[in-house]
Amino acid sequence: MQGKMIYCNKCGRPICIEEYIEKADYLKIEKNWGYFSNKDGTCVKINICEECYDEIVQGFQIPPVVEENTELL
């Protein structure tokens, strides 16, 4: 039985099969738009692969805060 494939929303490349999701590293955004937006009541799910993440971040005016993860599980 093969699981659902997760695709990068930006470049369209497959990231991984859903059942092996713990072994893949990518950016996952889940946003429930609320009352103060023009998208009230909608939930958006976005998957972005690591390469596209790097590309997007390079376009930021203010770079994201990057901290060392001290508690590695």
Helices (H), 1-73: 50-58
Question: Minimum distance from CB of 28 to Zn ion (Å)?
Answer: 13
Structure tokens at 12: 């369209």
6 part of the interface to Zn ion, by CB under 5 A: no
Binding positions for Zn ion, 38-67, rule CB under 5 A: 49, 52
Structure tokens at 18: 């859903």
10 part of the interface to Zn ion, by CB under 5 A: yes
16 part of the interface to Zn ion, by CB under 5 A: no
Q: Which residues bind Zn ion (CB under 5 A)?
A: 8, 10-11, 49, 52
